[in-house]
Amino acid sequence: MCGIIGYAGTEKAAPLILDGLKRLEYRGYDSAGIATVSDNELQIKKDQGKIDEINNELTLSDMNGNTGIGHTRWATHGAPSQNNAHPHTDNENKIAVVHNGIIENYSELREFLVGEGYEFQSETDTEVIPHLVDHFMNQGKKFEDAVRNTAARLEGSYALAITFVGEPGKLVIVREQSPLIVGLGADESLVASDIPAILPHTKRVIILDDGEMGVLTAGNVEITRVESGETVEKEIQEVDWSPEMAEKGGHPHFMLKEILEQPDAIQNTLRVPEGELGELSKILEKADHIYLVACGTSHHAALVGKYALAKLADVSAEAIISSEFQESCVPKEGDVVFAISQSGETADTLKAVRVAIENGAKVVSLTNVVGSSITRLSELSCLTRAGPEIGVAATKTFVSQITYLLLLAFHMARKRGQISGEEFNDMANQLRGLPDITREVLDEVNTQTKKIGEEYTDIKRGYFIGRGIGFPTAMEGSLKLKEIAYVHSGAYPAGELKHGPLALVEPGTLVIALVTPGPARERMIGNIEEVRARGGKVLTLAPEGDKEVKEHVEEVISLPQVLEILSPLVYVLPLQLLAYHMGVDRGHDPDKPRHLAKSVTVE
C-alpha cells in the first residue's frame, strides 16, 4: 500500500526521506519518489521499482533542500510507471503532491481542469490535486488556502503532503479517511502515513483526524479544521516503539523475527486492563447479535474467538469476512459489530464498520495500531499489544488477537456463571503460562520445520485438516503456506474430507493434520487413516506423549499438552515456521510476498 513521509527542518531533507521510505517498504509498493524544494526550484526524482534500485539509478539522496516529501506507491489508478509514480506536480512544476487513498470524483475534476487548460502527465487520480491547488492559487489564494479549497472539492479518501516552491520551508498536509501522523522534533517537523517511518527522529506524535489539515515548518506545527479553518488543539502522544523494534533485530527476515517474538506478544497482550474487558463484555452482553468482522488472518482469529465465546461463555457470535458483510448481513440497532484488524486500516473491514454505523449498530474493535482509522470509528477500541509488525504476513498479531479474545471469553464465562472461579483461575493461569511454553516450542520446532521444509522441496500442493478449534488454525496454516511458499493449499474441517476433498488425495499428496487435545482426537485419527488409505503423506501435529498417533503417521511434530481452548496459540507456531522455511528455500522474500500488501486500504 502507499506510504508517505515528509520533512520540514534544518537538515538536508532527501536522505531523511529516503530512510523513511525504506521504513515504509513493508507496506508493499511498486514505485517510489521524492520531491524537495531548494533555491526556488522543485526537484523531483521518481520511478517504478524498488527504492534501492531507484536510488542506484537516480541518487535520490543527492537532492538539495531542507523540505521535501516522499512516497511509495501501490498502483490503483494507472499501472506502475515513472509517470504514475508520486510526487505529482502542476504544469509549472511549482507544487508537488504525494497522496494515499483514492479520489472518487477524479474523472469529473480532471474534465474540469482539462477545460481550464491543464495538461495531465499521468493516469492517476492524484494528479488532479496539484492542478487544483494551482487553479486556486491563480485565483489569488495563498498556498494553504488553495489546499483547503482543493480538499473541499475532493471526494474519497486522502492523506496528502504538499510542497510549494514559493514557500520553501513549509509542508501542508491533509487527512480524510487515510491515516496521517505528524512527528515533532526540536527544530524539525515530519509527516508520515505511519509511525515506523519517523521513529529515528522523534517519538512525539500528533495523530490527525479526518477533516483536519496541518501546516508544518521547522519545529512548528499548526492544525486546523479543513472546513472552518478553526485551530485544533491536538494531544501530543508518546510512542513507545524504539526504532530497533521496527527493525529486523539480527534476523534474516522480519517474518522470522516476528514469529520468534510471539511469546512476548502474548505476554504483552495479557496486560489488557481488566476494566477494558469489563466494558467490552457489557457491550457484547447487551447485543442482539454479535458480528466478528475481519479479513484473512484476523478472520481466523475471529473464528477462534467465536468458538471460545460459544464453548466457554455461551455467547453466540457470527464470524464474518469483512468483504462479505455488506453482501450478506443486515446489521440493526442493538447489534454489535466487533471489528478485528491488526492494522486498523483494512478497507474491507472499515467498510463493514461504516455500514454498521449507518445502520445504527454499535462498533467495537480490536487492533494493533493506536489511532488507526477503525479505532477512531469505534465506540470502544481495544488494543492487542504485539508491537509493530513489519512482515506482510500476520504472525505475532494473530497470537495477540487470539490471546485477547480468549481473555474476553474467560471473563464473560465467569461473569455469566458458565465456569466456576476455580475453572477460571485454572484457565487464566494456563494462559499466563503460554509465553514460556511457546518460547520452548519455538526453540524446538524451528530446526524440525526447516528440515521438513527441505524434504518438501518438490511439493506443489498441501491440505490442512483440523476439527473444532483446530480448524481455524488449519486455515491459518494453509493461508501461510499459500502466501509465503506459494504452494497451493486448502484447509478443511477433517469431517468434510469424505464429502469431497478426499478425491484430491493420491499417493504422495501432503496432508497436514492437526490433532488438537480434546474429544475430537479419536475422530481425527480416523480421518488420518482415510488419507493414508489413499496413499497420502500425513504430517501430524499432536500432543507429546500421544503414542497412538505416532503409530498412525509418517512424521509427527510433538507439541506440549495444553488445554484444547489454548491450542491455537501453540499449533500455529510450527505451521508459520514451515511456511517461512519453505518460502525461503524456494527463494522467496517472506517479508514481501508477491502481489500482497501489509495494509490493504482498497476494497
| Grid cell digits, residue 350 | 472499515
96 binds ligand F6R (CB under 6 A): no
- Evaluated on CA atoms 122, 125, 126, 127, the torsion sign reads positive
Of the candidates 84, 157, 281, 298, which one interacts with ligand F6R according to CB under 6 A?
298
Stretch that binds ligand F6R, among 183-191, 206-214, 294-302, 378-386 (CB under 6 A): 294-302
Q: CA-to-CA distance for 193 and 286, rounded, in angstroms?
A: 36
DSSP code of 115? H
Q: CA-to-CA distance for 8 and 501, rounded, in angstroms?
A: 58
Instruction: Say if CB 277 and CB 415 are below 8 A apart.
Output: no
The residue to which cell 526524482 is assigned: 45
- Which C-beta is closer to ligand F6R: that of 363 or that of 553? 363
List the interface residues with ligand F6R, window 480-499 (CB under 6 A): 483
Give the three-state DSSP class for 546. coil
DSSP line for 347-380: HHHHHHHHHHHHTT-EEEEEESSTT-HHHHT-SE
Distance in Å, CB of 386 to ligand F6R, minimum:
11
Distance in Å, CB of 480 to ligand F6R, minimum:
7
List the interface residues with ligand F6R, window 354-393 (CB under 6 A): 393
| Residue 142 is a catalytic residue | no
Of the candidates 296, 462, 536, 574, which one interacts with ligand F6R according to CB under 6 A?
296
Q: CA-to-CA distance for 599 and 212, rounded, in angstroms?
A: 22
Q: CA-to-CA distance for 314 and 544, rounded, in angstroms?
A: 30
Distance in Å, CB of 23 to ligand F6R, minimum:
18
Q: Which residues contact 139 (CB under 8 A, 6 or more apart)?
A: none
> Is 337 buried (19+), middle (13-18) or exposed (0-12) by CB count in 10 A?
buried
Instruction: Say if CB 283 and CB 380 are below 8 A apart.
Output: yes
Tell me the HSE value of 600 on the side-chain side, using a 13 A CA sphere.
Answer: 22
Of the candidates 21, 98, 284, 394, which one interacts with ligand F6R according to CB under 6 A?
394
Give the three-state DSSP class for 13. helix
Q: How many residues bind ligand F6R (CB under 6 A)?
A: 14
Instruction: Say if CB 28 and CB 592 are below 8 A apart.
Output: yes
Of the candidates 193, 342, 381, 384, which one interacts with ligand F6R according to CB under 6 A?
342
Stretch that binds ligand F6R, among 117-125, 339-347, 530-538, 571-579 (CB under 6 A): 339-347
Distance in Å, CB of 258 to ligand F6R, minimum:
11
- Which C-beta is closer to ligand F6R: that of 270 or that of 600? 600
Stretch that binds ligand F6R, among 179-187, 204-212, 290-298, 573-581 (CB under 6 A): 290-298
Q: Which residue of the chain is nearest ligand F6R when measured via CB?
A: 296
DSSP code of 496? G
| Residue 2 is a catalytic residue | yes
| Grid cell digits, residue 568 | 491455537
Of the candidates 38, 189, 262, 349, which one interacts with ligand F6R according to CB under 6 A?
349
Distance in Å, CB of 590 to ligand F6R, minimum:
10
- Which C-beta is closer to ligand F6R: that of 290 or that of 600? 600
Number of CB atoms found within 10 A of residue 540's CB: 23
Indicate which residue of 46, 306, 537, 598 is catalytic: 598
The residue to which cell 539509478 is assigned: 57
Of the candidates 38, 72, 326, 343, which one interacts with ligand F6R according to CB under 6 A?
343
- Which C-beta is closer to ligand F6R: that of 74 or that of 118? 74
Strands 95-103 and 537-543: unpaired
- Which C-beta is closer to ligand F6R: that of 265 or that of 393? 393
- Which C-beta is closer to ligand F6R: that of 189 or that of 341? 341
178 binds ligand F6R (CB under 6 A): no
Of the candidates 154, 272, 295, 510, which one interacts with ligand F6R according to CB under 6 A?
295
Question: Which stretches of the chain bind ligand F6R, using CB under 6 A?
Answer: 295-298, 341-343, 346, 349, 393-394, 479, 483, 600
By annotation, the residues acting in catalysis are 2, 598
